[in-house]
Amino acid sequence: IVCQPAKILNFLRRQKYNADYELTAKQGADTLAYVALLEEKLLPAALHTFWVESDNYFTVTKPWFASRIPFPLSLILPGRMSRGALNRILLTRGAPPLYQLQEVEAQIYRDAKECLNLLSYRLGTSQFFFGDTPCTLDAYVFGFLAPLYKVRFPKVQLQEHLKQLSNLCRFCDDILHSYFRLTLGGTPPAGPESVDANLRKLTQLVNKESNLIEKMDDKLRQSPQLPPRKLPTLRLTPAEEESNSFQRLSP
């Protein structure tokens, strides 16, 4: 299992999948700069929205994650993740003069709103950040914005600001419609279950072929085989041996 965006992207690049193949050197540098901006300015506010804000945590995040974690870890891990998010915010953004948690919260939300404004300005009226096809930056931005945009929070401080930026909302809606939409029959695209079913069918076919080959080998082993034929040994008569010896001695 490959986790974390950077590791996933590196894994895909090793498999010859690179969404940034057609980007220029400047666009590649801009991608790195904006990814760093997201992790520095938007990530702390996203962590606070999901894991630290008490109303959001107890109403949305904790039940959501606990429903996907087996008992008894469902009683332990959400609280541990919440404390980890708070510690990360305080360690990275709690430097002087921001000594109080309320001051840190106010600062990280100011930074997050500024980051959203910069992203909105950079996107403009384009469908994606660089051209007509999505790239790494689009994936990063969507990963940050879509949960903030779609999850129904009791406290919507950052969500309200995001919904005021219409081009970022359109950006999320376009990706959701293009890559996460239902099929024409109203069912979602092929998921892990259908993939597993196809793998099982393929495995069954391979096993049948193997069984057929083994049966053919058994039949060949059990079939009657003729013993190897011995070649007759040729011997010379005494007169032929004598004449042959004279021929070898003659000059």
Per-residue pLDDT of 95-140, as tens digits, reads: 666 567 788 888 999 999 999 999 999 999 999 999 888 999 999 9
**Which tokens belong to 21?**
């193949």
Whether residue 230 is predicted with pLDDT greater than 70 in this model: the reply is: no
Number of separate domains in the chain: 1
**CATH number, domain containing residue 42:** 1.20.1050
Q: How many CB atoms lie within 10 A of CB 214?
A: 10
User: Is pLDDT of 238 > 80?
Assistant: no
Whether 243 maps to a domain, the answer reads no
Identify whether 187 is part of a domain.
Answer: no
Residue 87 within a domain:
yes
- From the list 173, 170, 45, the residue with the least C-alpha distance to 115 is 45
Q: Among 143, 140, 141, which residue's Cα sits nearest to residue 167? A: 141
Residue 110 included in any domain:
yes
Mean pLDDT of 149-161: 90
Position 227 scores a pLDDT of 58
Average pLDDT over residues 4-8: 83
Supply the pTM of this predicted model: 0.68
* CA-CA-CA-CA dihedral for 31, 35, 38, 41, to nearest 10: -100
CB 45 within 8 A of CB 158: yes
What is the maximum alpha-carbon separation in the chain? Answer: 123
Q: Residue 170: which domain range?
A: 23-180
Cα–Cα distance for residue pair 81/65, rounded to 1 Å: 10
Tokens 């660089």 sit on residue: 130
Q: How far apart are the two ends of the chain, measured CA to CA in Å?
A: 85
Among 176, 164, 147, 149, smallest CA distance to 51 is for: 147
User: Cα–Cα distance between 5 and 139 in angstroms, integer?
Assistant: 9
Q: Is 129 among the domain residues?
A: yes
Is residue 64 a part of any domain in this protein? Answer: yes
Location of structure tokens 């965006």:
5
43, part of any domain: yes
Q: Tell me whether residue 251 is in a domain.
A: no
